[in-house]
Amino acid sequence: MSALRLPTHPDGTISRYRDVLEREQTAVDGPKGHVLITRNGNFKPYAVWHSDQITTIVSTDDHAHAIRSACVAVGLDVQRLDFSALDADH
């Protein structure tokens, strides 16, 4: 999986981490908690979920949509996301 660039948010943190299987995943932190964006393989959808729960908030093939959904879940205003750093194809 090629590394995606991440958007930024002035009120939260969007960061990359490696899971136990060494897959690159995304974490979003905000006033309402911590949400993970995970993907089980290159052609699998992104799953957005709270780090302390097992239910999925949303499942999508679009990384930007996954980030927006994660931001809403942690209480960040999606209008304040800066997607200018994202790769053109994502």
pLDDT per residue, tens digit, the chain (90 aa), is 445 577 777 778 888 988 888 888 899 999 999 999 998 888 899 999 998 888 899 999 998 899 999 999 999 988 887 877 654 444
Quote the pLDDT of residue 89.
Answer: 41
Q: Is residue 89 part of a domain?
A: no
**87 in a domain, yes or no?**
no
State the total domains in the chain: 1
Burial 20-59 (b: 16+ CB within 10 A, else e): eeeeebbbbbbeeebbbbbbeeeeebbbbbbeeeeeebbe
Model pLDDT, residue 43: 86
Domain assignment present for 53? yes
What global pTM score does this model have? Answer: 0.80
The domain of 66 spans: 13-80
User: Cα separations (Å) of 29 from 1, 18, 25, 39, 43?
Assistant: 23, 16, 14, 18, 26
Instruction: Kindly state whether residue 3 falls inside one of the protein's structural domains.
Output: no
